[in-house]
Amino acid sequence: MYRIATYIIALIILADIPALAETSTGTPTDIIPVPQHIETADGVYSWPEPTATFHIDGGNGTLAEYLKADSLSEATDENRADILISITEDDGSEAYTLTITPGKIIITSPGEAGAFYAIQSLRQMTRCGSVRQLQCCTIADAPRFTYRGLHFDVSRHFRSKEFLMKQIDAMALLKLNSMHLHLTDAAGWRLQIDRYPRLTELAAWRPYKRWEDWWNGDRSYCTQDAPGAYGGYYTKADIRQIVEYAHTRNITVIPEIEMPGHSEEVLAAYPSLSCSGKPYVDADFCIGNDSIFTFLENVLTEVIDLFPSQYIHIGGDEATKKGWAQCPKCKLRMEQEGLADVDELQSYMIHRIEQFVQSKGRTVVGFDEIMQGGLAPGAVVMSWRGSEPGIEAMEQGNQAILNPNAYYYLDYTQDAPFKEPVSIGGYLPLEKVYSFEPLPDSITGTTAQNLLGVQANVWAEYITDDSHAEYMYYPRAFALAETGWSQPDKKDYADFRRRALALIEQLRLMGYNTFDLAQEYGDRKESNQPLRHLARGAKVIYNIPYSRQYPAAGDSALTDGVCGGWTYGDNRWQGTMRDLDVTIDLGSAKPVRYVGATFLQSVGAWVYMPRRVDIYLSDDGEHFTLAGQAWCDVPDTSAEIRYKVYSTLCDTTARYVRLHAIKHPRHGAWLFTDEIVIN
C-alpha cells in the first residue's frame, strides 16, 4: 500500500504526546476559536493505520511544505489520499470548508491560508494526533478580522528563536496570524544592523538579568564579554529562519523599531543622536538633529529588507519629550517647520518616517501616541490606551488595531495576586479578556471597516523566564483568538471555558507551560458584595482632593460599601498622589469601636502603602483627638501586590472621624484605598 505517510504518528512524535484512549472521539464543538458554522453528521472517521495521506490540488506549495515538514507524505493519486485538499483561487483567503465523512476528509478553500486553518481545526480535533476517531461533520469557517496578533517583548528579556518558533506553532493552532516583535527598547536592542554594530555590541547587553535590578540600578549597558553580561540579539540569519517558519504557518512577523522614545539603548551606543549628545541622559531621539533621520532610515532599510511584512511598527509611545523644549536644535526645527509644540514636533518626525516607509511600499504602524500633534495619513494606529484613540483614528479614515490595555495586556496578573507570580500589576482574568467587543453597535459603516483587528501584548519587565512567558500567554491568547476570529453571536464564555480547559491540557502535553484554569481563584471576595457598616452612605469631606484620574465613585467612594477588586485600576479604588486626608460626618454622635481602611501596594505601577495612618475623632468637627495610629510593615522593595488594613480600635462616641494616610515619600508614588469602614 502507498499509505506510508505518517500524519498522526508524525504529529505525535512532533508534539511528544502520549496517545489517549482509543475510544475518545474528536469533535468540532471543541475547537478554539469557535467556527462560524458546524453541522455534525452521523458516523466517525477512523484514522487509517498506520496513518493518513494527503493530496493538494492548487495552491502555491506552502501547505504541502508544512505537512511534509510534519513528516506526512503526499499521495500523488488523489483517489488514494485520505485528506483531499483543494485550493481554488490562491487569493490569500483564510476561509475554509472541512468535511469529515467516514471514508475521507475533504478540505476546500479559496486560499492556501484557509486550507492551512482547516488543518489546524483538524489538529485541534485530533488533539494534535492523540485522538484517532473524529466525529463526522462539515465546518464552514472564516475569520471576523484580518489582523489577529500577539506581541512579544524581546527587549526586556531576549527570547531564543526556538522559543519564538514554539509560540508560532501555538499561534497557528489558534489561527492567530500576526507576531509583533518589540525588538528595541531601553532594556536592550535585539536585531543585527550591519551599519550600526554598536547596537548589538553594546546596546544588546546589560550587567543584570532581572529587569528590576537593572532598572532600579544604574541602567547601564555592557559588552557581551563583560562578566555577567545578559542579553542577546537576532542575527539576520535567525530572523530569516523565524520569518520563514512563520510564513509557512500563515503568520507575518511584524518588526517594531521604537522611536522617538524608549530609545535609551540607542542613545547609549550612539549619543550624538540625543539632545544632550551624552549617553545615559536622554530617552528620546533629538528631532532637531538631521542625523537621526539618516540613522533611522538606514536602520529601517535593513529592517525592510529583512522582514517582508507590509506593516512596519515604529513604536511612537511614551516619548518623554523632556529634552526637546530646551534643545536648540529641536527649537530651531520647530521654528523652521512652524510647529506649535513638542507634540507637533513628534508628529513631524512620525510623518517623515511614515513617508520614508511608504516610499518603500510598506505601511507604518504606531502606538496611539502617534496621533498627538496630527496623525500621518497612511499610518495604522495600534490603540493601547483604551479603544477610543483607535476609534478616533478609524473615524478619521485611518486603519486601527485594538489592543486596549485593560483587556489585552496579558502581562497583568490573571488571578488572585497572592497565588500568582509577581507582575507589573493589574488584574486581567480570562473572562475579562474574553469579554472585549471591538465593535460596539455604535460603530458601523466605513468606520467599522477601518478596524483591522485585535492584538494582545505581553510586556516582559517582570517575566524573566520563557516558561513564565508562556504562562502569561495561555490560555488568555485563546480568548483573544476567539474574539479575533469568531462572530460575536457565537461567543459564549461558559462554553469557551470548557473548550479552554481541554486545549490547556493539549498544550501542556505539547510542552507548554500554562495557567491552571481549573484552579482559578477568581475575584477578591470582599469586592463581590456591598459591605454594611456604620459609615455607609455618610458624607465624606475631603481635606485634600483625590486624583481626577482615579476617582472611583467620587465623593461617595469611600463610604459607598463598594470594595475594590484585585487591581487599583478597576474604578473601585480611589487614588491620590498626595496624602489621603478625609473627615467622615456620621450625622450625629454615635458609638465608634473600630475605624479601618484597606490600602493596596503595586510597586510595578508606583502604588505604595501609606507610611502611617492617623485616626482622629471629634464631636464638633473642629477639635479632634487622636484615637489611634497604624504603621506600614509592608516592604516597598518587592513588586508583589499586597493589601493591608490600617485600623484602630476605640471605645467612645463621635460624630466626625478623620483619617489621614501619609503617602510614601517617593516622587510620583500613588496611594489607593477603597472604603473607610467604621463600626
Active site residues: 185, 262, 318
Burial track 494-507 (b if 16+ CB lie within 10 A, e otherwise) = eebbebbeebbebb
Cβ atoms 393, 533 nearer than 8 A: no
Decide: residue 131, CB within 10 A, 0-12 exposed, 13-18 middle, 19+ buried: buried
| Crossing angle (nearest 10°) for helices 236-248 and 161-173 | 10
Helices (DSSP H) in 61-190: which residue ranges? 62-69, 112-125, 161-173
Q: Name residue, grid cell 543622536.
A: 273
Give the total residue count for the chain: 679
- Report d(CA 559, CA 678) in Å as an integer: 9
φ, ψ at 109 (rounded to 5°):
-155, 150
Instruction: Name the nearest CA neighbour of 2 among 61, 51, 45, 66.
Output: 51
Instruction: Name the nearest CA neighbour of 168 among 253, 81, 79.
Output: 253
Instruction: Supply 83's cell numbers.
Output: 485528506
Instruction: Supply 119's cell numbers.
Output: 488543518
| Crossing angle (nearest 10°) for helices 466-473 and 161-173 | 20
Cβ atoms 291, 272 nearer than 8 A: yes
- Report d(CA 311, CA 178) in Å as an integer: 10
What is the C-alpha radius of gyration for the chain, rounded to an integer number of angstroms? 28
Instruction: Supply 281's cell numbers.
Output: 541622559
Dihedral over alpha carbons 624, 626, 628, 630 (to 10 degrees)? 100
Q: Reduced to 3 states, what is the DSSP secondary structure of residue 660?
A: strand
- Report d(CA 334, CA 315) in Å as an integer: 22
- Report d(CA 169, CA 410) in Å as an integer: 19
- Report d(CA 362, CA 355) in Å as an integer: 10
Cβ atoms 109, 87 nearer than 8 A: yes
